[in-house]
Every structure is written in C-alpha cells, then in structure tokens.
C-alpha cells in the first residue's frame, strides 16, 4: 500500500495523464473547471447535512480530484505549480497557528480564534 505522500503523487500523475490524453478534459480551463469544484463542495455540504458519511467520503475525493485538476490546468498555462500551492499552504498553516508551531500561548478556543483572525487580517493588509 502506498504511503500518503506517494498516494497523492500517484493521484496527481493520474489526473495529469487525464488532462493530457482525454479529449474532453483537454478542453477544460481554469475558469470553467472552477465551477466543478464549487459544485462538488456543495455536494460535500449536502452529504454532511444528510449525515451520509459514505457519500461524504466519495464527495471529498471528488473535491480533491477537481482541486488537482485545477492545479494541473494552471500548470499547463504556466500560472503556478501544484508544488507551489502546497508549499504556500504549508507556510500559511504554520503562520496562522503560532500557538501550535511557535511559542505563542493561548488558553482557550476564543483566544485561538482571535489570534487566527488577527493573523488573517494582517495578511490581507500585507503585514506578513
């Protein structure tokens, strides 16, 4: 059984092959395929509301499929790479959680959420 890292890489390679070889998918664009991602995210919400956990598992897979597809479409246009998205996300996770990965202490959920919001606001203001 592949490790999580290897499994993600395998999925990305499969989806890359689809974007290169499938005539229908070759015509997808970032702009048009974004709607598919939104649609799948709505199906995730529906599965949660219905407490249909088996369907939730499937829909989360579909969201990941569409997410990877969007990354591959962006790569084809030289907008950015999947690796860049993942690296940026890793940095954001560390930056927004200094109480987990740094030396800032929080005492409760409210303080953690306030810290998160403060960091997010500073990001939007260009202070990070």
pTM of the predicted model, to two decimals? 0.85
What does pLDDT average to over the chain?
94
What is the model's pLDDT at position 4?
59
Which range, of 5-19, 62-76, 79-93, averages the lowest pLDDT? Answer: 5-19
Domain boundaries, the chain: 1-80, 81-128
Which architecture, in CATH terms, is 1-80?
Answer: Orthogonal Bundle (1.10)
Q: How confident is the model over 67-78, as a mean pLDDT?
A: 97
| pLDDT for 128 beyond 80 | no
Q: Between 4-21 and 53-76, two packed helices, what is the crossing angle to 10 degrees? A: 60
Instruction: Return all residues near 70 (Cβ < 8 A) that are at least 6 apart.
Output: 30, 33, 34, 37
| pLDDT for 89 beyond 70 | yes
CA angle 101, 67, 113 (to 5 degrees): 35
Confidence of residue 77 (pLDDT cuts 50, 70, 90): very high
| pLDDT for 5 beyond 70 | no
């Amino acid at each position: 059984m592949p490790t999580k890292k290897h499994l993600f890489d395998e999925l990305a390679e499969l989806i890359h092959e689809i974007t290169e070889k499938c005539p229908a998918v070759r015509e997808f664009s970032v702009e048009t395929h974004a709607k598919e991602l939104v649609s799948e995210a709505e199906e995730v919400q529906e599965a949660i509301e219905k407490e249909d956990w088996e369907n939730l598992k499937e829909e989360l897979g579909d969201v990941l499929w569409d997410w990877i597809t969007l990354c591959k479409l962006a790569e084809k246009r030289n907008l950015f790479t999947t690796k860049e998205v993942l690296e940026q996300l890793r940095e954001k996770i560390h930056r927004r959680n200094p109480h987990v990965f740094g030396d800032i202490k929080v005492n409760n959920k409210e303080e953690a959420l306030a810290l998160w919001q403060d960091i997010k606001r500073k990001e939007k203001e260009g202070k990070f």
